[in-house]
Structure 1
Amino acid sequence: MIRRLIALILILGLIGVGAAAWISRDWWGDGPLQAETSIRVEKGDTLAAAARRLEKAGAIRSTTNFLRFARRFGSEDPIRAGEFQFPPHVSGAQILDILQHGTPVQRLVTIPEGMASILVYERLMAVPELTGQIAVPAEGSVLPDSYSYEAGEPRAAVLARMQTAMRRALDEAWAARKPTTVARTPREALILASIVEKETGVASERPMVASVYTNRVREGMKLQADPTVIYPITKGKPLGRRIRRSELNAVNGYNTYASAGLPAGPIANPSRAAIEAVLDPAKSAALYFVADGKGGHVFAKTLAEHNANVQRFYAIRRSRGEM
């Protein structure tokens, strides 16, 4: 009798050891995932729905066992929606913790300040994780910034966020405009800001460049902004060569060498800072500016001053072998 009892105890012990080893392997031990994998959890998904996706991706061996162990050994915290990254051989316990407390993968698409809409379109179309088609957005309708998106999200939804951001930025800047601006409408502010954005890559110069164009509008002078000559030719892409005389003389609604006043529309997507600059330009009587050879510009009140600045710039270029 004693021998039978001992044998039974040994058998039960062996069963317990085997069960513990099985649980340890399937819950705390290395999982079957062979390579780093992203798995998406949709909003409203249950743990069971997520587990089925995990099993299909090879991250867990069994949905049933994963759920059983999760109920017994895991936290009761809810799982989060989003895209999650799982490393190779991640355990079931680690998977549950990632689903409940991990940070979803953040994907960003960046629209630089002054990017033209045709390039915004090309950038969005080149993101492989996005889906669906879009048209080229209206010029000036997108606010330059970095925007998060989720794998599988429609491109139209991401573009809509960019355009909503621009409408809000323009409305806020317009509400805070100063009496010194020459923009009579938010659209005029957008048009002038797009020129300022294309004329300088130095953030601190925006109010001064805005002041030059503000003064020219007040004086009834032509803006004579090179980017407005290029825009009808390339729709905002780089020209890749010098502007031709025939292009400087072309009358097309955009060329501010041929016509006075603002062009027919924006020539790029300006930043919030450029919009604010044209709505609160620097206090200056400057009417001209030219590159200073160091990445910025030098400003002048008179044509004589400007011509002297131009000659200095030419001298710099000649010393570099550029002319």
Structure 2
Amino acid sequence: MWRSVASNALTLFIVALLALGGVILWGQKQYEVAGPLGQAICFKVERGASMSAVSAGLEAQGAISDARIFRIGTTYSGKSGQLKFGSYLLEPAISMAQVAERLTVGGQSTCGQDVNLRIGVAGAEVILRSYDAATAGLVEVAKFDPSGEVPQVYKDAVDDPDLRWRVTLAEGVTSWNIVEALKAADFLSGEIKEVPAEGVLAPDSYEVSKGDDRAALIAKMQASQSATLAEAWAKRAEGLPYETMEEALIMASIIEKETGVAEERGKVASVFLNRLRDGMRLQTDPTVIYGVTKGQGILGRGLRQSELKRETPWNTYVIQGLPATPICNPGKAAIEAALNPETTDFFYFVADGTGGHAFASTLEEHNKNVAKWRALEAAGAEGDGSGTGDGN
């Protein structure tokens, strides 16, 4: 009799274990399979929120099918205590496991609003954007000059602790323009005692926090440019006419100002290097312009003949060799082009009416290209006629 009871008890125990195992496997499957979310949403984790509150919120918004399974899954995966506050994009059919990963490991704020101070050659602007979950894209809410009137929608957003901040430098911006824009940025703090040397700030997009120190951000930009230049210098081609990295940076700044077409940078570099090797003057308009403006704003008009003839440390129509300093802050691609140029026999280039340039090896060929450009110019075609396009 006792043997029969023990046998039945053992059978029931085994059945219970199998049932428990089945429940665990079912729960694990539910944790990992595609979820019920029909369209993308932005889900916000409040600072200090518990996993219990978050799981309930996820279930209420239809992001997960069962808050209990989510809590158990995050506990067993060791993520229950790793929540990061912020706003997160949750895509359609995202699994519980993926949600847990997004909210604990994926990084703060992949959704919500962001502010970007964009510093370009022609000026600076602050852009406030908000993520639209329905279209899975960022929508511009406000755009304004940082030194001008601030819209109310921006004032209403700046105290959100989840708001993301960024400063973006375009290639070819001068150090003076960067400093002036940073001074006008109301979300930064501290003073910049002096304008950094031209060329030493890396064009890039920098994540910042509200209240960050301006001087510390400048130092970060300098460190980035220094690292980029050092890396490119270590991999430079043989036989270049540069004695120092500073000279390479000067050339890169000229290349940056002469073309915005990525595939042309190596050719433009070859033109100026060929001229240097042959003892020709560089004769590039952007250097003359820098001698007029000193990098403080844009010229906003064509160069005068008197300015082309006036000797300054940057006027390459008058001086021999490279100008005294860089004329802007060049990007990584321009630096790499200066240190690993294409090998060509080109000595001239002029705008071709498409946004790019026509290159030539002889003055005769170049003059024909100039004539074509002048005809396009006369017909009202748009293009960039800067640089060595005057036939010299």
Alpha-carbon RMSD across the aligned residues, in angstroms, is 2.7
Matched position secondary structure for 2:358: strand
1:110 aligns with 2:114: no
Distance in 2 between residues matched to 1:171 and 1:205, nearest whole Å: 23
Matches within 5 A, 1:303-322: 303-320=363-380
1:128 paired residue among 186, 196, 204: 186
1:138 paired residue among 197, 213, 233: 197
Matched position secondary structure for 2:276: helix
2:316 paired residue among 256, 272, 288: 256
AA of the residue aligned to 2:380 = R
Distance in 1 between residues matched to 2:283 and 2:323, nearest whole Å: 11
Distance in 2 between residues matched to 1:107 and 1:99, nearest whole Å: 20
1:175 aligns with 2:234: yes
Matches within 5 A, 1:62-81: 77=81
- Using CA pairs under 8 Å that are at least 6 residues apart, name the structure with larger relative contact order, 1 or 2: 1
Distance in 1 between residues matched to 2:167 and 2:240, nearest whole Å: 33
Matched position secondary structure for 2:350: strand
Cα shift at 1:78: 5.3
Matches within 5 A, 1:22-41: none
Cα shift at 1:242: 1.1
Distance in 2 between residues matched to 1:76 and 1:240, nearest whole Å: 58
Distance in 1 between residues matched to 2:103 and 2:265, nearest whole Å: 46
**Number of matched pairs:** 244
Distance in 1 between residues matched to 2:307 and 2:170, nearest whole Å: 27
Partner of residue 225, structure 1: 284
Distance in 2 between residues matched to 1:151 and 1:79, nearest whole Å: 22
1:265 aligns with 2:270: no
AA of the residue aligned to 2:169 = I
Unaligned residue ranges in structure 1 (runs of 5+): 1-36, 42-46, 49-73, 87-97
1:189 paired residue among 236, 248, 272: 248
Matched position secondary structure for 2:206: strand
Partner of residue 279, structure 1: 339
Matched position secondary structure for 2:176: helix
Matched position secondary structure for 1:168: helix
Partner of residue 272, structure 2: 213
Cα shift at 1:79: 6.4
Distance in 2 between residues matched to 1:296 and 1:188, nearest whole Å: 26
Cα shift at 1:100: 6.8
Q: CA distance change for structure 1 residues 303 and 100 in 2, over 3 Å: closer, same or farther?
A: closer
AA of the residue aligned to 2:234 = A
Distance in 1 between residues matched to 2:103 and 2:359, nearest whole Å: 57
| Aligned 8 A contact 2:281 2:320 in 1 | yes
Matches within 5 A, 1:20-99: 77=81, 84=86
Partner of residue 67, structure 1: none
1:204 paired residue among 263, 276, 294: 263
Distance in 2 between residues matched to 1:123 and 1:180, nearest whole Å: 39
Report sequence identity in percent.
49
Unaligned residue ranges in structure 2 (runs of 5+): 1-43, 50-74, 89-101, 110-162, 383-392
CA-to-aligned-CA distance 1:213-256 (integer Å, 9 cap, x gap) = 00000000000010000002112332111111111111111100
Matched position secondary structure for 2:312: coil
Matched position secondary structure for 1:187: helix
Structure having the larger proportion of residues in helix: 1
AA of the residue aligned to 2:241 = V
Cα shift at 1:127: 2.1
| Aligned 8 A contact 2:353 2:381 in 1 | no
CA-to-aligned-CA distance 1:177-214 (integer Å, 9 cap, x gap) = 00142222100000000000000011110000000000
Partner of residue 68, structure 2: none
AA of the residue aligned to 1:148 = E
| Aligned 8 A contact 2:347 2:360 in 1 | yes
Cα shift at 1:165: 0.2
Cα shift at 1:122: 2.1
Q: CA distance change for structure 1 residues 315 and 279 in 2, over 3 Å: closer, same or farther?
A: same
